Amino acid sequence: MKVLVIGGAGYIGSHVVKELLDRGAQAVVYDDLSSGHKINLFPGAGFVEGDILDYPKLKTAMEDGIDAVVYLAAKKAVGESMENPELYAENNLIGAVNVLNAMAKSNVKALVFSSSAAVYGMPEYWPIDEEHPLNPISFYGFTKVEMERLMEWYDRLRGIKYTALRYFNAAGYDAGGAIKGRDRNPQNLLPIIREVVDGKRECLQIFGNDYETRDGTCVRDYVHVSDLAAAHVLAINRLLEGKPSAVFNLGTTNGVTVQEVAAATEKVTGKPLPVRYAPRRPGDPAVLVASNRKAETELGWKPVYTSIEDIVRTELA
Ligand code: UDP
């Protein structure tokens, strides 16, 4: 099996490539290294340096005996998407059209796509299952919904089978230390905590402690990146077995508050973590927790990492 991993030098992509190689598959990374890292490339994988907006290059990469595509390359910062929608429209929407057109032209029929819990917007109930209404409240979330809808049409009209994996809060790093390149400009909780622990930031700002949750801080479902990577390989195998297109939530179903993440960090490091309470961040739902029953029953996926302490440990290693 030969898999083209678009965005394979990035955070989740590099873990997916590792998982593919560990399972004996061939992987070719297509990445423009705009946010990914050269040091995240594995010697055992092929590499094409290219932008998804470069359609001819993408099509050529697709014609190299590829059986399946994992498509991760996209802009992913919620705040930035509200300030610069043009950038997100271009990268995510035109990028998706290019990936699908290149697949249609090269007759590649299996696609695993990085989607996000951001497609749901403000949750109406939780745990959130895949039937929850799609009501994105950020332009980023809107692009993910539209990318999923494009895939639906290419399935109907071109027979491209897809699996959209809606990640909840991806966190942690490969426990064996295989992935060296970190986010250059971290915006998410765990990489920010790492910077505080490393002394690169003075303190963790906790955005809001007046939510209706057990300690007033937001509840999220942190899912380990190696568990996410394993789900991609299961999804590819499922599609190559001829199963229909599908959408899966990927989360642990365990809700953890920001304060509990801070406490887990203190347990792991044995040191106090300096925190400061700051106002709520606009657009943050109080609680985001996944139902992963569908992924468990139809994909055979079960997250290995269920303790936030274990996840934090791999983030800080
Ligand atoms: N958060 C925080 N301080 C930070 C970064 C994040 O308190 O410096 C909180 C944020 O408000 C949210 C949770 O941590 O409740 C996870 O945020 P993140 O940006 O990692 O992911 P999101 O849930 O927004 O996708």
Q: Given 30, 140, 211, 305, which residue is catalytic?
A: 140
* pLDDT values of the chain reduced to their tens digit, one per residue, 317 residues: 999 999 999 999 999 999 999 999 999 999 999 999 999 999 999 999 999 999 999 999 999 999 999 999 999 999 899 999 999 999 999 999 999 999 999 999 999 999 999 999 999 999 999 999 999 999 999 999 999 999 999 999 999 999 999 999 999 999 999 999 998 888 899 999 999 999 999 999 999 999 999 999 999 999 999 999 999 999 999 999 999 999 999 999 999 999 999 999 999 999 999 999 999 998 899 999 999 999 999 999 999 999 999 999 999 99
**Catalytic residue check, 140:** yes
Asked if 14 and 78 touch (Cβ cutoff 8 Å), the reply is no
Q: Which atom of ligand 1 is nearest to the CA of 281?
A: 11
Phi, psi at 99, each rounded to 5°: -60, -45
Specify whether the CB–CB gap between 204 and 193 falls below 8 A.
yes
Closest ligand 1 atom, residue 78 Cα: 24
Q: Is 205 in the pocket of ligand 1 (CB under 6 A)?
A: yes
R_g of the chain computed on alpha carbons: 19
Considering all CA atoms of the chain, what is the largest pairwise distance in Å, rounded to the nearest integer? 57
Among protein residues, the one whose CA lies closest to atom 14 of ligand 1: 189
What is the enclosing helix (H) or strand (E) of 30?
strand 26-31
Q: What angle do CA 164, 18, 3 make, to 5 degrees?
A: 55
Check pocket membership of 213 for ligand 1, CB cut-off 6 A. Answer: no
Rounded to whole angstroms, the Cα distance separating 32 from 120 reads 29
Atom 15 (ligand 1) nearest CA: 218
CA distances from 12 to 45, 98, 169, 201, 229 (A): 16, 21, 12, 24, 7
Ligand 1 centre from 289 Cα, in Å?
Answer: 14
Contact 154, 107 (CB under 8 A): no
Please tell me the pTM assigned to this model: 0.98
Q: Which of 11, 80, 213, 258 is the pocket-test mutation for ligand 1 (most atoms within 8 Å of CB)?
A: 258
Best substitution site from 189, 201, 249, 284 to test ligand 1's pocket, by max atoms within 8 Å of Cβ? 189
